[in-house]
């Protein structure tokens, strides 16, 4: 992602390029206000979860706008690799996409093709919204999008790990994201992983090594601040938990205090 164009609105991308270890989180609730609240906490990026979260197309649009307006980078995790979903996320103004369950280089190449404008890709143009979310005019957006949007693919299966080197070699893939729960299900047959299973550790190490070999950023989910701090010793960025889990954990913890004798 080498380009001379610098856009101060692209908080996550700029932090990654500077090597300052940005922190993201996941948004699963379909609320403009929740998006605002999460974005003002100090995170650098918010992944709007259209795969497992309760986020439809309308909520994705409003959340993207709300997060970008707070000076934070909205990314959209798609529910699958379909070109229309890539187009909708980017046309909403996402600063990047996160695509789950990528198992082959062919799948990665297809994602890149539909995330890039011609001549590098096949993406069509027809929306004014992305330029707004990037804080620039539309001609500048079209000219610079191919070099400033983050295309992130998730590796979270045995097959993905087997093909990780070929996936990481695909031009236009900028970041690899490890989904530890799905990876554990595929590799170990259960969740959550205890974290010390040799097969699980080996899979993560293979993914990180391949990403480094091909000059890709690499990221993962971290369940709490302590793990986040530990993971950032290895990873370029992490996603710190999830809005839904944060609410559940706070109420569970505080209710235990309130009801303790």
Could you read off the pLDDT of 161-177 as tens digits, one per residue? Answer: 999 999 999 999 999 99
Predicted pLDDT at 258: 97
10 Å CB burial of residue 250 (0-12, 13-18, 19+) is exposed
Predicted pLDDT at 5: 86
Q: Please indicate whether residue 231 is annotated as part of the active site.
A: no
Predicted pLDDT at 18: 97
pTM: 0.96
**Rounded (10°) CA dihedral 169, 161, 75, 56:** 130
Angle at 175 between CA 201 and CA 62, to 5 degrees: 115
Predicted pLDDT at 2: 47
Q: Which two tokens stand for residue 243?
A: 């809005």
Give the number of residues written for the chain: 261
Q: Could you say which residues of the chain have pLDDT below 70?
A: 1-4
**Taking phi first (over 0 means left), then psi (-120 to 50 degrees means alpha), and beta for anything else, what does residue 172 get?**
left
Predicted pLDDT at 261: 78
Catalytic residue among 52, 61, 82, 134: 52
Domains observed in the chain: 11-259 (3.20.20.60)
């Amino acid at each position: 992602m080498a380009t001379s164009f610098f856009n101060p609105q692209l908080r996550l991308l700029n932090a990654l390029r500077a090597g300052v270890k940005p922190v993201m989180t996941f948004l699963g609730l379909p609320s403009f206000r929740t998006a605002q609240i999460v974005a003002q906490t100090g995170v650098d990026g918010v992944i709007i979860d259209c795969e497992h979260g309760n986020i439809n197309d309308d909520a994705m649009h409003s959340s993207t706008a709300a997060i970008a307006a707070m000076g934070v980078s909205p990314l959209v995790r798609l529910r699958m690799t379909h070109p229309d979903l890539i187009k909708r996320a980017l046309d909403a103004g996402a600063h990047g996409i996160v695509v789950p369950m990528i198992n082959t280089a062919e799948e990665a190449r297809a994602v890149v093709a539909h995330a890039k404008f011609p001549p590098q890709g096949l993406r069509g143009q027809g929306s004014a919204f992305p330029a707004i979310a990037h804080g620039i005019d539309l001609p500048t957006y079209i000219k610079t999008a191919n070099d400033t949007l983050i295309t992130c693919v998730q590796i979270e299966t045995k097959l993905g790990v087997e093909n990780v080197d070929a996936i990481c070699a695909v031009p236009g893939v900028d970041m690899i994201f490890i989904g530890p729960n799905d990876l554990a299900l595929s590799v170990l047959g259960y969740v959550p992983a205890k974290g010390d299973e040799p097969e699980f550790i080996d899979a993560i190490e293979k993914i990180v090594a391949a990403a480094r070999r091909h000059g890709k950023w690499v990221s993962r989910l971290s369940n709490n601040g302590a793990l986040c701090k530990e993971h950032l010793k290895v990873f370029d960025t992490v996603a710190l938990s999830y809005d839904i889990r944060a609410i559940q954990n706070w109420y569970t913890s505080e209710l235990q205090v309130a009801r303790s004798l």
